[in-house]
Amino acid sequence: MDSRPIGVFDSGIGGISVLREIVELMPNENYIYYGDSKHAPYGEKKREEIQALSENCVSFLLDKNVKAIVIACNTATSACADLLRHKYSDMPIIGIEPALKPAVLWKAHDRVAVMATPMTLKQEKFRQLLHTYEEQSDIFCIPCPGLADFVESGMLDGPEITEFLDGLLHPYLEKGIDAIVLGCTHYPFVEKVIRRIAGDSVRIFNGSHGTALELKRRLTEADLLTENQTKGTVEIYNSSNDTNIIHLCHTLLHHPE
């Protein structure tokens, strides 16, 4: 039993979409969230750079005496989860990956589009995931450079983001898509726009809930769950000095719609 906080980090505000699932599942835990918006987006950087930045995020959280760390970023998970687990072998480190499995298994021989950063899609971790499921479905990978920037700037709806997403998705929707995987933690914040463009018949998946469940499983296994019987605290920090970003994080955490 342990009431130390759980650390959660992302390249910016996207990881809030994971944190809100985790808080819903384990409301009595305390949380420290760190967004590295100063260096976002990670998804178009070199792997070595993402590794160095992610190590900084982990150091920040370790200084806050966290008991476990969630990499609430598909890009950082695919670029360096193994390295971080190796370096901090005493710390439970939970990552996130595109929810390809539930999207493929949902319907026989469906056509699945995976939206993610260019970095996530080209990493070995994702290539292996793809390889596991490519026989069972038609899978289309959609690299989305620039999309996380819209979210970082707080533009979550409106003509500009609609036009951007329409341009990105249209060629794939024309082929007839059954499911879309949101393979970047920033994207659930524009799910409403994606839904409007894709229509109601397309199912949308993301990996946040699976990550929350895995975190709970790991904490239970290591006997690290809190005994707190009241609602815990959430502290949000960001590498950028912009107070609007912290404000936006709180808003997205409490009022997702």
Q: Which residues bind ligand DGL (CB under 6 A)?
A: 10-12, 14, 40-43, 73-75, 117, 120, 148, 184-186
Q: Which residue's CB comes closest to ligand DGL? A: 43
Closest CA to 31 of 249, 232, 254, 256: 232
Sign of CA dihedral 206, 78, 96, 36: negative
What is the Cα Rg of the chain in Å? 18
- The answer to whether 236 touches 23, Cβ cutoff 8 Å, is no
Output 211 or 226, the one with its CB closest to ligand DGL.
211
Residue 8: φ, ψ to 5°: -135, 130
**Is 141 marked active-site?**
no
Nearer of residues 110 and 236 to ligand DGL, judged by Cβ: 236
Structure tokens at 136: 């069972």
Q: How far is the CB of 144 from ligand DGL (least distance, A)?
A: 9
Which is catalytic among the residues 73, 141, 144, 249? 73
Asked if 114 and 139 touch (Cβ cutoff 8 Å), the reply is yes
Can 184 be counted among the known catalytic residues?
Answer: yes
Q: How far is the CB of 252 from ligand DGL (least distance, A)?
A: 13
Residue partners of 218: CB distance under 8 A and separation at least 6: 68, 92, 94, 224
**Beta carbon nearer to ligand DGL, 58 or 110:** 58
* CB nearer to ligand DGL: pick between 192 and 231: 192
Residue 202 CB, nearest distance to ligand DGL (Å)?
21
Q: Are 186 and 151 a contacting pair, CB within 8 Å?
A: yes
State the minimum distance, in angstroms, from the CB of residue 71 to ligand DGL.
Answer: 9
Q: Which of 80, 141, 144, 184 is flagged as catalytic?
A: 184
**Closest C-alpha to 40, from 188, 141, 162, 150:** 150
Cβ 121 to ligand DGL shortest distance, Å: 10
Residues β-bridged to residue 234: 31
* Residue placing its CB nearer to ligand DGL in the complex, 95 or 110: 95
Catalytic positions, written as ranges? 73, 184
